[in-house]
Structures are given as structure tokens and as C-alpha cells.
Amino acid sequence: MNDTENDRLRRAVVRLMDGQREALEVLRQTLDDDVPTEDALGDLEDILVGASEDARTILGIDEGGRGA
């Protein structure tokens, strides 16, 4: 694995970890503030799908799982 691939993999993992952290914050707020579950689920979906799409873009993977 060359330096470019290492950097892309690192950035993808960081983005996924950031998405997980954001999702946990939404869950904590939902539990603490009695936010409606539907709203929280929509937020969680947006966060996790966004993180996944960003990671795929960073890695050069299309929706079918093929690399660029």
C-alpha cells in the first residue's frame, strides 16, 4: 500500500468515526431531551448515510462497490 492509499484510507476511517460520534450525540440528545424518535431516526440516517457516502468518495468506490 502506497502513501496515497494510506492517506485515503485514514481519511475515510476518520470520516466514518466522525459520523459515529455525531450519531451518538444525536442519541444522547434524544434520550436527554425527549426529542421525538422519528426526528432522531431521520437525523441518524442522514448522518450515517452521509458518512458512508463521504468514505466511499474518499476511497473512490461507486455505489455498486467498484473502485474507480
Please report the pLDDT score of residue 68 as a whole number: 59
Per-residue pLDDT of the chain (68 residues; tens, 9 = 90+): 899 999 999 999 999 999 999 999 999 999 898 878 888 999 999 999 999 999 999 999 977 667 65
Residue 61 main-chain phi, psi, to 5 deg: -105, 130
Please report the pLDDT score of residue 13 as a whole number: 98
Please report the pLDDT score of residue 62 as a whole number: 79
Please report the pLDDT score of residue 22 as a whole number: 97
